[in-house]
Structure 1
Amino acid sequence: MRPTLRILWEDWADRDLPLPSYETAGAAGADIRANLPPDIRAAGFTLQPMQRRIAPTGFRMAFPPGFEVQIRPRSGLALKHGITLPNTPGTIDSDYRGPLGVLLVNLGAEPYTIHHGDRIAQMIVAPVVQAAFAVVDTLDPTGRGEGGFGSTGRG
């Protein structure tokens, strides 16, 4: 099943910016753009090193139950400038109807300016299975057992 994400523009949003889009035929993530409010569109906003800020996208969305939207960093911004998301991946639940903002952090050594229309993150639409939880007296044994961090390889 290919879900449809229904998009609702915010009143102030620049509707000339593209909706989230897959940039190549094989892309797993749809790029999301910063849609800045009119008072900061011309200048954008600057993230100082280690600063966090929510970048608005100018829209809200709805999608069917049984799916989530994951918000992930763009690899080029992370590699070249240290711009990433501190809560990666960010999860949007199917019952959330508020504005979509992307929490960015600058892990780079230099200030970085987010401009109106910049591609700032990508969204992945993924199926979700809600589990049942049951308390038991024992767990079935495995070859790994209780081995934790780093127990299956070097380091």
Structure 2
Amino acid sequence: MHSPDPIPVLVRRLPGNDDLPLPGYATDGAAGMDVVAAEDVAIAPGARQAVATGLAVAIPAGFEIQVRPRSGLALKHGVTVPNTPGTIDSDYRGELKVILINHGDTTFVVQRGDRIAQLVLAPVTRATWLEVEQLDETARGEGGFGSTGVASGENLSALPG
């Protein structure tokens, strides 16, 4: 079930992009909106590319848009969003671009109009720092990477936090 009151997000099609669809939900239960490419690009194996969408947005204060990969591109072609999730801040007004990386072994071709990522509107909770001399104790303590789910007796103390 989706939120009862959709949050309006202002969107502007940049010149020359009137033929492209606005981001949209593929199904009633979809969390992300598919966004399409506004240009043709070829991404070589191991390469990254910022792909234009032909859109600029005005995200309401207190929200962000998260840019997430499309699972089909990742599974079938090894193409994903490297900084997942990417964040578009509410005060950004430039063209929305999607950074793609090709982890596959062949060049991946993006054609204008191809679905390249998903956009998720999400609330932002801002933090403040409260500096203290000591933190409370927990069962995990300072156990770092891979320390949970380790059989007792294994020592991971040599691993960095």
Q: Same fold by TM-score, threshold 0.5 exceeded?
A: yes
Matched, 1:54 2:58: no
Kindly provide the amino acid, as one letter, of the partner of residue 74 in structure 2.
A
Matched, 1:26 2:29: yes
Kindly provide the amino acid, as one letter, of the partner of residue 144 in structure 1.
R
Query: 2:41 — aligned with what?
Result: 45
CA offset at residue 12 of structure 1?
2.5
Deviations 1:38-84 (CA, angstroms, capped at 9, x unpaired): xxxxxx22111011111100010012111111001100001100111
CA offset at residue 16 of structure 1?
2.0
Kindly provide the amino acid, as one letter, of the partner of residue 7 in structure 2.
P
CA offset at residue 90 of structure 1?
0.5
Kindly provide the amino acid, as one letter, of the partner of residue 14 in structure 2.
E
8 Å Cα contact 1:73-1:84 kept in structure 2: yes
> In 2, Cα distance between the equivalents of 1:131 and 1:154?
32
Gaps of 5+ in 2: 152-161
SS at match of 1:100: strand
> In 2, Cα distance between the equivalents of 1:2 and 1:128?
16
User: TM-score scaled by structure 1?
Assistant: 0.90
**Number of aligned residue pairs:** 147
Query: 2:158 — aligned with what?
Result: none
Counterpart pick for 2:93 among 92, 97, 119? 97
Matched, 1:2 2:9: no
> In 2, Cα distance between the equivalents of 1:154 and 1:91?
33
CA offset at residue 152 of structure 1?
1.2
Matched, 1:64 2:60: yes
CA offset at residue 141 of structure 1?
1.0
Gaps of 5+ in 1: 37-43
SS at match of 2:95: coil
When the two chains are superposed, the root-mean-square deviation of aligned CA atoms in Å is: 1.3
- Identity percentage of aligned residues: 52
CA offset at residue 154 of structure 1?
4.2
8 Å Cα contact 1:50-1:105 kept in structure 2: yes
Quick check: which has more Rg, 1 or 2? Answer: 2
Q: Tell me which stretches of 4 or more aligned residues in structure 1 moved more than 6 Å.
A: none
8 Å Cα contact 1:3-1:63 kept in structure 2: no
> In 2, Cα distance between the equivalents of 1:78 and 1:153?
28
CA offset at residue 2 of structure 1?
3.1
Query: 1:106 — aligned with what?
Result: 102
User: TM-score scaled by structure 2?
Assistant: 0.87
